[in-house]
Amino acid sequence: MASLVTGRRSHRKSKAGCLQCKKRKIKCDEDKPICRNCKVHGVTCSLASASTYTQHGHGVNSQRSSASAPGPECASPASEATSLQPTSSQSSLATFQADLAVFDLELLHHYMTATCYTLSRAPAAQAVWRDQVPRIAFTMPAVLHTLLAISALHLARSDQSKRASCIAHAQMHHNAAIHAMVPIVTSLAPENSPGMFLFASLTCIFACARPPEGTDFLVLFEHGQLSQWVRLFRGTKAIIDYGDSEFHTGVLAPIFANGSNLAARRRQAHALEQGQMYIWELRKMVCTKCSPDKSLLQIYQEALDGLCRTLAVAMKPGDERRLETADVFAWLLEVSSEYLELLRQEEPIALVIFAYFCVSVRQIEWMWWMEGLSGRLLKELHSALDEEYRSWLQWPQEQIAWSPDGDFRM
């Protein structure tokens, strides 16, 4: 304890640190081309330009080691052009910036002034989506493309005169984002984990927000697309598990703090009991069907327990608080891999359980990018089941106000 009151901790002063760390009065690790602090905060590091400058014979050390080397005023046009060549990461970002159209700048402005406020209801999290996320996106083209894709879909809803062009731009940026992410998707590291998480999260939003008309969106049961849709959300879990400590202390910390507060409601002791009232008939039918196979019954029982907790929060009587995605999609992150495999195989009971989950999805459709999703999911689930199991969907159909004859009922 005595060491806590002896003043500032002494450390080796950095004379060659970057300007950003010196301005913030923190220690710079001088790692080139970008120091760790600048990587974490998603800002431009002065070491990057200094490193490039030195590599081409114009640094201070190179001048001292070769007195006969020509100075900048004597450099030939060829050597001068060589000294201005950017690094590979700078080159890819510079290429993207050169390709930016005026409409892309409009999309960026729309994101900064409107879309960012729709991604969370917590003011602290909104500030991160507004201020920090674009900074990270400027260092990772895949994130920037996905951000612009989401903004385009949001603008398409608020300005009908631009709907067609917005949807086209959204698809274009989504395709570009996937292409840019492919080379780095297997290189998860502490310095790029915030960008990877943002790419995965924004891609999930895009998958829900993309309008179904004129596209193949949510044709869920060709080639196991329902399980792929679920795995898209679960992909964020691996990233979160990898960079857990960094996420809770870094620039994205307010987003994770908000998510932790919401998830705490599902973990309350009485949540499991409160949710039983919504699925007790389903649980009884599952027990009857699966009683001969104890291992299969356990997989479904665990999925139903998690669903109980989700429905207890989503259907809580008298709760006027608007739910957020963390309240609902936590079930997708927690459900077992064995259940996901049954879902991939389109096992009827797994599909029916997922239909009950769609009732909780209905509770977050106040978000623009979730609107109508529960009905589209339930429609596909209904078409995949035979008559015996379709009768199990009565409660989800009533809660979502959907019927196989006329789709949505009011």
- For residues 95 and 100, what is the distance between their CA atoms, to the nearest angstrom? 9
Can you name the residues that pair with 407 across neighbouring β-strands? 403
**327 and 226 in one domain?**
no
- Per-residue pLDDT for the chain (410 aa), expressed as one digit of tens each? 444 344 444 444 456 778 777 777 788 888 877 787 776 666 677 665 444 333 433 333 333 333 333 333 333 333 333 333 333 444 445 555 545 678 899 999 999 999 999 998 889 999 999 999 999 999 999 999 999 999 999 999 988 888 999 999 999 999 999 999 888 877 777 778 888 899 999 998 998 888 765 444 443 344 446 767 777 787 777 787 776 677 778 889 998 887 777 766 777 777 778 888 999 999 999 999 999 999 999 999 999 999 998 998 888 765 556 788 888 888 988 899 999 999 988 999 999 999 999 999 999 999 999 998 899 889 889 989 999 999 999 999 999 999 887 655 44
Q: Answer whether 0.85 is exceeded by the pTM.
A: no
**Spatial distance between the Cα atoms of 284 and 261, rounded to a whole number of angstroms:** 32
Integer Cα distance of 390 and 397 in angstroms: 10
Two tokens, residue 389: 């199991």
Q: Please name the amino acid found at residue 346.
A: E
**Residue 280 shares a structural domain with residue 394:** yes
> 133, exposed or middle or buried, with CB in 10 Å at 0-12, 13-18, 19+?
buried
Q: How many domains would you assign to the chain? A: 2
- Residue 141 inside a domain? The answer is yes
Residue 53 lies in a domain: no
DSSP string, 244-277: HHHHHHSTTHHHHHHHHHHHHHHTSTTHHHHHHH
The first and second tokens of residue 167, run together, are 């949807």
| Domain span including residue 158 | 102-210+218-245
Tokens of 18: 């970057």
User: String of b and e for 22-51 (b: at least 16 CB within 10 Å)?
Assistant: eeeeebbeeebbbbebbbbbbbbbbbbebe
Shared domain check, 382 and 285: yes
CB atoms within 10 A of CB 114: 13
- Do residues 236 and 287 share a domain? no
Regarding whether 276 and 166 lie in a shared domain, the answer is no
> Residues 141, 276: one domain?
no
Please check whether residues 280 and 316 belong to one and the same domain. yes
237 domain-assigned: yes
